[in-house]
């Protein structure tokens, strides 16, 4: 089993180092190879996703990714910006299914801005389609371009589109995920206004007939956004398109209080995947040794479960994370009175110790 390790920028290097520490003590036979990505790759090779990094990612069974980006790259041409590396990896690896679990750990109930009774025991899974929708529609642009710039634009446009196969494959992913959970799928759309999402709703309904053991319901995205803060535990698996998924998965993430706790997985049709924390490179705290590495460690657990067929090792890591939280260890982002404040490396060491 080969894992491509792409730490990236900012806190990426610090948090990935802790996840690698955890992977190393599992006693499994991994080959791990590290490469530059994002701003670090741009500095060294002039491109955020150099050919060698892409080749490594393609050859690996899974990619463990930290985060990329820094404000200092904001003036670069868009194709050279660090974040383009993620889009390049998604596109080249065909990563169409994004899994964003939002789990509220009992020990962190108070970190949420919602009332404890609303989120205690929360465990939902947002599945976002990642390669279609308005983000990839054609045509797109602005009217009245002058020299590639748009000073006096009067209009801009992006086209929303989905094809039947794109909807079918993400629907199958959602129904199969639900079969392993509480057998409920909510498909989120805007079928009342958008033709693309009436089509989405029709195709998801058709696919649903192949899964008679899973209950399917449909919800408009505006209502879903409200229900997520009103009664989030009503949901189990939520499946939606790229743009609605982008927004709702961040909303769901924040229900749990800390972005530093939330893993994610992006998979292709052969279960090759890219695993990364839901947060960014946090330039404001980079280099201080205070970033929370748990989202990355939990992403490594998802990697073991989905791409490397090691579900027991994934269970062990997740139990170890709960163990360190129960011991009262907290990085600054999840700290509350009465707990013990620890840094990035101390948190990683504590997970390693709990595993042992």
Task: List, by residue number, the catalytic residues.
Answer: 135, 190, 222, 246, 250
CB of 217 to ligand NAD, least distance (A): 30
Identify residues 88-107 at the interface with ligand NAD (CB under 6 A): none
Select the residue interacting with ligand NAD from 47, 190, 279, 305 (CB under 6 A).
279
- Please identify, using beta-carbon distances, which residue of 67 and 214 lies nearer to ligand NAD: 67
Query: Cβ distance 62 to 307 under 8 Å?
Result: yes
Q: Vertex 81, ends 90 and 61: CA angle to 5°?
A: 30
- Please identify, using beta-carbon distances, which residue of 187 and 258 lies nearer to ligand NAD: 258
86 binds ligand NAD (CB under 6 A): yes
* Stretch binding ligand NAD (CB under 6 A), from 87-95, 109-117, 141-149, 277-285: 277-285
Select the residue interacting with ligand NAD from 170, 291, 317, 355 (CB under 6 A).
291
- Please identify, using beta-carbon distances, which residue of 118 and 259 lies nearer to ligand NAD: 259
Select the residue interacting with ligand NAD from 18, 133, 276, 318 (CB under 6 A).
276
Query: Cβ distance 286 to 10 under 8 Å?
Result: yes
CA 148 vs CA 74, 82, 144, 155: distances in Å: 18, 22, 10, 15
Query: Cβ distance 188 to 239 under 8 Å?
Result: yes
Number of residues binding to ligand NAD, judged by CB under 6 A: 22
* Burial bucket for residue 143 (CB in 10 Å: 0-12, 13-18, 19+): exposed
CB of 51 to ligand NAD, least distance (A): 20
CB of 137 to ligand NAD, least distance (A): 22
Identify residues 208-267 at the interface with ligand NAD (CB under 6 A): 259-260
Q: Vertex 110, ends 221 and 18: CA angle to 5°?
A: 90
CB of 304 to ligand NAD, least distance (A): 20
Over the window 56 to 85, marking each residue x when it contacts ligand NAD by CB under 6 A and - when it does not, the resulting string is -----------xxxx------------x--
CA distance 182 to 235: 10
User: Which strands make up the sheet holding 123-129, listed edge to edge?
Assistant: 31-34, 2-8, 62-67, 273-277, 263-267, 97-103, 123-129, 237-240, 184-189, 215-220
CB environment 62-97: b (16+ within 10 A), e (fewer): bbbbbbbbbeebeeeeeeebbbbbbbbbbeebebbb
* Stretch binding ligand NAD (CB under 6 A), from 106-114, 143-151, 224-232, 281-289: 281-289
Over the window 7 to 36, marking each residue x when it contacts ligand NAD by CB under 6 A and - when it does not, the resulting string is ----x---x---------------------
Q: Is the dihedral of CA 83, 63, 313, 24 positive or negative?
A: negative
144 DSSP 8-state letter: S
CA distance 37 to 48: 5
333 binds ligand NAD (CB under 6 A): yes
- Please identify, using beta-carbon distances, which residue of 68 and 248 lies nearer to ligand NAD: 68
Given the rule CB under 6 A, which residues bind ligand NAD?
A: 11, 15, 67-70, 83, 86, 259-260, 276, 279-285, 291-292, 295, 333
């Amino acid at each position: 089993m080969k894992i491509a390790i792409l730490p990236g920028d900012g806190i990426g290097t610090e948090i990935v180092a802790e996840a690698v520490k955890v992977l190393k003590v599992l006693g499994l036979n991994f080959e791990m190879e590290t490469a530059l990505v994002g701003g670090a790759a741009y500095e060294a090779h002039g491109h955020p996703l150099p050919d060698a990094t892409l080749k490594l990612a393609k050859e690996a069974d899974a990619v463990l990714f930290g985060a990329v980006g820094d404000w200092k790259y904001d003036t670069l041409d868009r194709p050279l910006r660090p974040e383009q590396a993620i889009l390049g990896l998604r596109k080249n690896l065909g990563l169409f299914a994004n899994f964003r679990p939002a789990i509220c750990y009992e020990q962190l109930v108070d970190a949420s801005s919602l009332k404890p009774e609303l989120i205690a025991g929360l465990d939902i899974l947002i599945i976002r389609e990642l390669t279609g929708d308005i983000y990839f529609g054609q045509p797109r642009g602005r009217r009245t371009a002058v020299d590639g710039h748009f000073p006096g634009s009067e209009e801009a446009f992006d086209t929303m589109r989905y094809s039947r196969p794109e909807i079918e494959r993400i629907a199958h992913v959602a129904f199969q995920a639900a079969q392993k959970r509480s057998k409920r799928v909510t498909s989120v759309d805007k079928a009342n206004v958008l033709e693309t999402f009436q089509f989405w709703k029709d195709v998801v309904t058709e696919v649903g007939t192949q899964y008679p053991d899973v209950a399917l319901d449909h919800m408009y995205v505006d209502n879903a956004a409200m229900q997520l803060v009103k009664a989030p535990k009503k949901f189990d698996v939520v499946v939606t398109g790229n743009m609605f998924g982008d927004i709702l998965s961040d909303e769901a993430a924040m229900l749990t209080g800390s972005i530093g706790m939330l893993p994610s997985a992006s998979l292709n049709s052969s279960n090759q995947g890219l695993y990364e924390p839901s947060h960014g490179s946090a330039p404001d705290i980079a280099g201080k040794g205070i970033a929370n590495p748990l989202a990355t460690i939990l992403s490594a657990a998802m990697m073991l479960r989905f791409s490397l067929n090691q579900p027991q090792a994934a269970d062990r890591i997740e139990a170890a994370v709960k163990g360190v939280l129960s011991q009262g260890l907290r990085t600054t982002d999840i700290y509350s009175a009465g707990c013990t404040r620890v840094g990035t490396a101390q948190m990683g060491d504590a997970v390693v110790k709990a595993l042992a």
